[in-house]
A and B are shown apart, each in its own frame.
Chain A
Amino acid sequence: SSAGPVPSEDLDDWLLAEKYLRHFYDLPVGLQGRRGEPSGHFTAKIKEMQRFFKLKVTGNLDENTLDLMKEPRCGVPDVGE
């Protein structure tokens, strides 16, 4: 994996992001890596989400990305079928 460390150390944030990306961006189960060592899949999905929402594409769980993941929204995935 070429992914770098995740800035946010909060376990809740990591779990939120994993759940969010699995539900809305088709992150395959078991391929998210570990907190502090995210997999390339995880980082790629963060980037996909950041691209969708026109955030700065960093692949990191920065504040703007996490804030958006906490917003109330529609349950339909943003990508895929």
Chain B
Amino acid sequence: YNHFPRDLKWQTNDVTFRIVNYTPDLEKSDVDRAIRRALNVWSDVTPLTFKKLHKGIADIMISFGSREHGDHNPFDGPDGLLAHAYPPGEGIGGDTHFDEDEHWSKDSSTYNLFIVAAHELGHALGMSHSTEPSALMYPVYSYSTGYPLSEDDVEGIQALYGPNPNSRKVKPKPDAPDKCDPMLTFDAATELRGETLVFKDRFYWRLHPQIPEPEQVLIKSTWPSIPNKVDAAYENPEKDLVIIFSGIKMWALNGYNLVDGYPKYIHRLGLPKSIRKIDAAVHIGDTGKTLLFTDEEYWSYDEATGTMDRGYPRSIEKDFPGMNDEVDAAVYHYGFLYFFHEHVQYEYSYNSRKVMRILRTNSILNC
């Protein structure tokens, strides 16, 4: 996290705000609700209280405007700059402006007013931009559900104002995973049209064969309707689909687009109802089978017939000698299965039926 120079903050914990005008994109009550919720995000973790004024000058004056709107910091039309706010102080200090050339919404369809307002009000209270990708105060817009503050945001605002003396329990989002953490584990991994996607917590890394540095992206910013945690994923190149598993549901992607008709229950694949999640999944192109790993066992699904092969589940340890008995994630490349378990990666030869190499899990992330 960062603060503004001189750690600008309000000298009183009782801060006033006023909504000067409203966007026509939303009902007035929706705007009121978004702003109130955004303020509550910060008051929940500090001693700050926010009182609404309906006229006159408040500490935080909130307004919607486009292009040049009176502060010599013009907006730029649709997209690009979404909003800005001034750090605590007299006059324009604390004031928060939203670009009216954006379309504001209360869901993921366009820019979510609550999320942007929570970020901007962070500035109005003294928070500058964070370099932490999972933080609310990260400068780039991303849609997410659930509690908006990360641990980084909470630390930052409490460094200015202290904690809430009457706090109810909040659960801040954990910081973004560090790709060079030697103990890094994966949630899921899959190919997608020549790229490799690796899922961890609320993020995924995108690896392109010609670009050594992986790109870290919030899952929700690419697929708002996919949950924050992915259990398993695999690509069926013949169908040009990637299947994402989370809990008892699965989603299908065609490229980066969600396929209609999903999510579906994983039991549609033929798994018993007792299976509540899949740990890892991998498609073996040579055989047309998809292997689904759950706890210490695995299943074989025939993509051509759409049925589970007979004789399954089977033991992972028995059929993949040298492998651990559980799998976090798996991918298949040129005759080799790459099993990820905790911070270790096993390169398993499908033909030789043995482990050829053992590597660190994050060795594929250019570490």
Contacts and interface: CB of A to CB of B under 8 A. Distances in A.
A53 B120 CA distance: 19
Given A54-B133, A56-B213, A68-B140, A75 B81 contact: yes
Interface in B87-127: 99, 111, 116, 119-120, 123
A76 B139 contact: yes
Nearest to B79: A72
A73 B75 CA distance: 11
B5 interface: yes
B203 to A, nearest CB: 12
Nearest to B84: A75
Contact of B85 (A71, A72, A76, A81): A76
B189 interface: no
B75 A75 contact: yes
A74 interface: yes
Interface in A8-50: 24
B1 interface: no
Contact of B123 (A53, A54, A56, A76): A76
B25 to A, nearest CB: 16
B170 to A, nearest CB: 23
B213 A74 contact: no
A75 B73 contact: yes
A52 B139 CA distance: 10
A73 B133 contact: no
A73 B141 contact: yes
Contacts of B128: 76, 78
Given A68-B140, A71-B140, A71-B141, A76 B129 contact: yes
A53 B131 CA distance: 6
B79 A78 contact: no
Contact of A74 (B4, B79, B81, B215): B81
A1 interface: no
B80 interface: yes
B39 to A, nearest CB: 17
B66 to A, nearest CB: 13
A2 interface: no
B5 A75 contact: no
Interface in A60-81: 63-64, 68, 71-76, 78, 80-81
B83 interface: yes
Nearest to B178: A54
Contacts of A75: 73, 75, 81-84, 99
A63 B208 CA distance: 12
B80 A72 contact: yes
Nearest to A16: B80
Interface in B27-83: 73, 75, 79-83
A81 B216 CA distance: 28
A57 to B, nearest CB: 10
Contacts of B83: 74-75
B129 A54 contact: no
Given A64-B213, A68-B140, A81-B5, A74 B119 contact: yes
A56 B83 CA distance: 28
Interface of B: 4-5, 73, 75, 79-85, 99, 111, 116, 119-120, 123, 128-129, 131, 133, 139-141, 211, 213, 215-216
* Nearest 4 interchain pairs by C-beta: A75-B84, A75-B81, A72-B141, A56-B213
Interface of A: 24, 52-56, 63-64, 68, 71-76, 78, 80-81
Given A75-B81, A78-B139, 17 more contacts: A53-B131, A64-B211, A72-B79, A72-B80, A72-B81, A72-B111, A73-B80, A73-B82, A74-B83, A74-B116, A74-B123, A74-B141, A75-B82, A75-B84, A75-B99, A76-B84, A76-B139
26 contacts: A53-B131, A54-B131, A54-B133, A54-B216, A56-B213, A64-B213, A64-B215, A72-B80, A72-B140, A72-B141, A73-B81, A73-B139, A74-B120, A74-B123, A74-B129, A74-B139, A74-B141, A75-B75, A75-B81, A75-B82, A75-B84, A75-B99, A76-B128, A76-B129, A78-B139, A81-B5
